[in-house]
Each structure stands twice: as structure tokens, then as C-alpha cells.
Structure 1
Amino acid sequence: MMGKGLKWGLGLGVAALIIGGGSYAYSQHKSQQETKTVTVGIVGDSDRRLWEYVKEDAKKEYGIDVKLKTFTDYVQPNRALADGDIDLNAFQTVNYFDTQKTKYKTELTDIGKTYVTPIRLYSDKLKSLDKIPDGATITIPNDPSNAQRALDLLEEADLLKYDHSAKLPSASDITDNPKKIKIKEVASDQSVSTLKSADAAVINTNYALDAKLDVDEALYVESVDDAHKGYFNLIAARKGTEDKQAYKDIVKAYQTEKTVKHMKDLYGTAQQPAWGKYAEK
């Protein structure tokens, strides 16, 4: 027969296993619950409107609670992501992403494309491109990626030419300027306000939409083709976290035909999907 001491010891062991197993199951459940809440950094209210729909689908289809954190500039969201203050961000183009990774040495990675918004040249004073006078002042974004994008736009519009061998081109790299246009570099989030003083301004679409500018009244619109795929927007995560199922599910919740419809309803021609079959156009 088994001694009382041995029975007591086995009982303790079984109890410990049950308690330990319960603790492990609880910690696993808690961990799973934590991964179901994902904070996404975005820029501006125009993006928020679309993400509110994505939030609903992520919750309904995958049980993920998406929390949105809105930033007002293009620098903070990548810093916040790198520091772990947010889980994902969705606001930037491929070119801007690559530039920021190099500049700040951030360990971030692209986990899915979202949309493309052709950048545009706007004016409160002029009605058409051919009305831009000699000596006009045009403002462009001052961060390297968007500055190059603005110069590409102005070159495509036959207003100037610049040195394409420049690694991070700016206004100082302009080589041909027949109208002697004055290029003024400003922070992207200040570009709309420059319409009051400048003759025209190159403005990122999210800021244009936030300011209720009519994108169809722009003086010039960037082409959307293979040469401009660096301007497709993306969802970014920290390296090492990109395989989390919740993150993959958020990308799936975004990349749907429902999102395409919401995009068209919200933004008209200002924004176009940039994933799957849409990216192959």
C-alpha cells in the first residue's frame, strides 16, 4: 500500500501541476488578448475616416480591436513605431519610408500596401498651369522624399529641370528654370497655409483633403504608373513583429473591395488602391 507521506506528496504535485497549468493557460490567454489590440499610427483626419471602416472590419472579421493614434507630421509616426509606442503605422510612401529608415536607422519593415495619392500643384490665385507668371513663387515640401517628388512633378509639368544625380535633390539642384520660378521649401504640414502668399504650392493629398481643397481643381496632377511605384503608401511594423497574425489580419482587413468602395466614396479621384491587381496597372 502507498504510504500517507507518498500520497500527500503526489497530491501536492498534482495540485501544483493543475495550478501551474492554469497559470500557463491564463498567461497564454492574456497574451492572445493583448495581441488582439493593435495601435495604428496615422497622419491627418482624412486617413482616419477610411481607417474607421477598416477598424469595423478588423473587429468583425478577426476580433481585433484597432486603436488609432493620429499624428500631425510625417516624422513622429516612425519614431513612435521604432520606440514601441504604437504597433503599426500607415501614412507614408515607399520612398519616404526608405529615406527615413536610412536617416534614423530604424528597424522597420513594410507589411502591405494601402493606396496611392497623386501629389498635386494647387493655387488660390491661378486657374491653369499656363497662367503661372515669370518669377512666381511655388512652395514644395522640405523633407527629402517629398521634395524630390515635388521637383519631379514640376519637371513633369515642364516648369523646370533638376539634377537627377543628386542623392537627395532639393531646390538648390535645379538646373533649368526658364520662368525663374522661386522655389520655397516648407514643412509638409504647412504647405496648405502657403497658398495665401505663394502663387502655387505642391501639397500632399492627405493635407489637401484635410483642408477641403478640391483635388479636381489642381493645376497639375502627378502621373500614376510604374515609374511612380515609389509613391505607393504602406503599412509598417517593427522588424521581428511582422509575422504576428493580428498584423497580417489588419492588412487583410484593409485590402478588400469594401475598402476600395469606401476609398472612392470618401476621396473620389484623390486616392486609389495600391495592392494586388491594382498595383499591376
Structure 2
Amino acid sequence: MEEYDMNKGVKWVIGIGLVAVVAGGFYAIKQHDKVESKTVTVGIVGDSDRELWEYVKKDAKKDYNVDVKLKTFTDYVQPNKALADGDIDLNAFQTVNYFETQNKNYNGKLLDIGKTYVTPIRLYSDKFKKLGDLPKGATISIPNDPSNAQRALDLLEKAGLLKYNHSVKLPGAKDVTDNPKNIKIKEVQSDQSVSTLKSVDAAVINTNYALDAKLNVDKALYVESVDQAHKGYFNLIATRKGSENKQAYQDVVKAYQTEKTVKHMKDLYGNAEQPAWGKYAE
């Protein structure tokens, strides 16, 4: 019978112990990463978006075991800054055009990972019920950020109120070239556009702010067309480059892009919003 070598036995036990400790350590790290990746913070703008995202949160948890935390911002600048700085994981508030313009400020650090909805921008008035009622010399407020300013000018041009210089990269009120009704354009921050209704004849207002203010979108003086020519106004979910393939982030997109979301969208917003992914964007 072979003699038992106690030293070998001790070494073997110690070796097994070390393997177990190391394996346990790797398992703990993996489990930690798994827990961390399952909590996703999404930046949104306004309370109207929050209503829909509350449904998406439930589906993300139920279908993918992802805990979505919502962080609400009051303007269009902070959500991209917060995303670039790593303070949030995703944001969902902006159009393609706005995103492309703002992403330049972050050296292309941000990335579109899925479309959400499209909301036709509208011209509202507290003083007049029809577009034709707007008098000569009327004052109209429009958003002052580059993307929304151009969108507002496009709307006013389609409405037949004015024309502007399309060769200008980021047009504003100063670029109006034909103004037969002598319309006065007042540029304001997007989140202040609703409040200007009290002091102007009409205002071009983004739909999320209109919904937050309980404006009746069906009573707008003029509505933007929705088609592929306006795909730059489709809204999107963004993240940081390098994070786009994280499973939890992809799961949030999948939780959003469902028929249930389409139904909730209709129930909450009526004609104000339309889905902008897959077959809906064709």
C-alpha cells in the first residue's frame, strides 16, 4: 500500500480552497455586474412622457427583469449633458434632427439605439380659432433652439405665412425672406412657449409641452405633416457610444416598441403622438 503523504494532502486541500475562493470571487463579481446592469436610468422631459414610461417600466420589469428609473428634466439641454457625463444611462426626449445637432457638442459621444414616437408640432392660439383669422402684424413665438426653430419656420412656411432662406444651416427669425403679413417672430426657450400664449397672437409649441399644459391638440391652428419627409422629427432613445449593446439597454428599447405601448400612446395622447418604429415608420 502506498504511504500517505501528509504534505501532499495539505497542499491539495489548500489548493481546492483557493480555487473555491477565487471562483466565489468571480461569481460575486458576475452577480454584482448583473445586478448593476439591470437598473437603467432614463432621462425624459416633462410629465406627459412620464405617463407612457410608467407603462414601459412595468413591461421592462415583467418581461426582462429590468428596473427602469425615470429622471425628469425641464428643458432640452440637460438630458444630453447628463447622458454624456454618465449621470443617466439612456434618454428619450428628442428628435433625430435635434439629436444630430446637439451630439456635435459632445463630439459624437451619443448614439441613437431606437425610435419611439413622432409628434407633429403645432401652431396654437388663445385669441384666434382659425389660421385665416391671424391679423397682419401678428406676433408668433417659436422655439429658439436651432432644430426646433427650423421646424417652426417650416411649419409657418407650409401654413403660407412666410418664407425663409433654406440655404442657412441653422435658420432663425432673422432669416425670414418673405413676410407678406408682416408677422413678428418672437424666439423663446421651448419650455417657455406655452406661457407666451398670453402675450402673443399664436405660438409654435412642441407637443410634450402642449400636453403638459393640457392644450387641446385638435384645436391647433395648423398641424405639421407626418411622413418620411419629416423623419428627422422622429423621437429616439439615446445612449453613450460603447454602451449600445448592453442587454439591459436593448431590453428597454424592446419593452418600449410593443403593440401595448401603441395602445397606451393612443389612450393617453389621442392624435398627439404616433409610433415611429418598424412598420409604423415605413
TM-score interval for Structure 1 and Structure 2 normalised by the shorter chain: over 0.9
Which residue of structure 1 lines up, in the alignment, with residue 228 of structure 2? Answer: 226
Q: Secondary structure at the match of 1:194?
A: helix
Distance between the aligned counterparts of 1:170 and 1:54, measured in 2? 36
TM-score with structure 2 setting the length = 0.98
Alpha-carbon RMSD: 0.8
Matching residue within 215, 219, 223 for 1:213:
215
Q: Does the CA-based 8 Å contact 1:114-1:232 persist in structure 2? A: yes
C-alpha displacement at 1:3, in angstroms? 2.6
Q: Which runs of 5+ in 1 are unaligned?
A: none
Distance between the aligned counterparts of 2:105 and 2:79, measured in 1? 14
Q: Does the CA-based 8 Å contact 2:84-2:106 persist in structure 1? A: no
Q: Secondary structure at the match of 2:181?
A: coil
Which residue of structure 1 lines up, in the alignment, with residue 189 of structure 2? Answer: 187
Q: Does the CA-based 8 Å contact 1:114-1:274 persist in structure 2? A: yes
C-alpha displacement at 1:103, in angstroms? 3.1
Matches within 5 A, 1:125-140: 125-140=127-142
Between the two proteins, what is the percent identity of the paired residues?
74
Which residue of structure 1 lines up, in the alignment, with residue 243 of structure 2? Answer: 241
**What letter is aligned with 1:56?**
K
C-alpha displacement at 1:7, in angstroms? 1.9
Matching residue within 31, 36, 39 for 2:38:
36
CA deviation vs aligned residue, 1:230-266 (integer Å, no higher than 9, x gap): 0000000100000011111111110000000000000
Which residue of structure 2 lines up, in the alignment, with residue 80 of structure 1? Answer: 82
C-alpha displacement at 1:2, in angstroms? 4.9
Q: Does 1:154 align with 2:156?
A: yes
C-alpha displacement at 1:8, in angstroms? 1.5
Q: Does the CA-based 8 Å contact 1:91-1:234 persist in structure 2? A: yes
Distance between the aligned counterparts of 1:123 and 1:167, measured in 2? 29
Matching residue within 15, 19, 22 for 1:17:
19
C-alpha displacement at 1:6, in angstroms? 2.4
**What letter is aligned with 1:89?**
N
Between stretches 6-15 and 175-184, larger displacement belongs to: 6-15
Distance between the aligned counterparts of 1:241 and 1:189, measured in 2? 30
Distance between the aligned counterparts of 1:155 and 1:13, measured in 2? 78
**What letter is aligned with 1:241?**
S
Which residue of structure 2 lines up, in the alignment, with residue 262 of structure 1? Answer: 264
C-alpha displacement at 1:4, in angstroms? 2.0
CA deviation vs aligned residue, 1:115-148 (integer Å, no higher than 9, x gap): 0000000000011000111111000000000000
CA deviation vs aligned residue, 1:154-210 (integer Å, no higher than 9, x gap): 000000000000010111111100001100100000000000000000000000000
Distance between the aligned counterparts of 1:226 and 1:273, measured in 2? 13
State the number of aligned residues: 280
Q: Does the CA-based 8 Å contact 2:145-2:189 persist in structure 1? A: yes
TM-score with structure 1 setting the length = 0.98
Q: Which runs of 5+ in 2 are unaligned?
A: none
**What letter is aligned with 1:212?**
K
Q: Does the CA-based 8 Å contact 1:41-1:69 persist in structure 2? A: yes
Which residue of structure 1 lines up, in the alignment, with residue 166 of structure 2? Answer: 164
Distance between the aligned counterparts of 2:8 and 2:43, measured in 1? 58
Q: Secondary structure at the match of 1:198?
A: coil
Which residue of structure 2 lines up, in the alignment, with residue 203 of structure 1? Answer: 205
Distance between the aligned counterparts of 1:99 and 1:2, measured in 2? 76
Distance between the aligned counterparts of 2:105 and 2:11, measured in 1? 62
Distance between the aligned counterparts of 1:245 and 1:64, measured in 2? 10
Q: Secondary structure at the match of 1:195?
A: helix
Distance between the aligned counterparts of 1:104 and 1:165, measured in 2? 25
Q: Does the CA-based 8 Å contact 2:140-2:183 persist in structure 1? A: yes
Distance between the aligned counterparts of 1:249 and 1:229, measured in 2? 24
C-alpha displacement at 1:10, in angstroms? 2.1
C-alpha displacement at 1:104, in angstroms? 3.7
Distance between the aligned counterparts of 2:232 and 2:130, measured in 1? 27
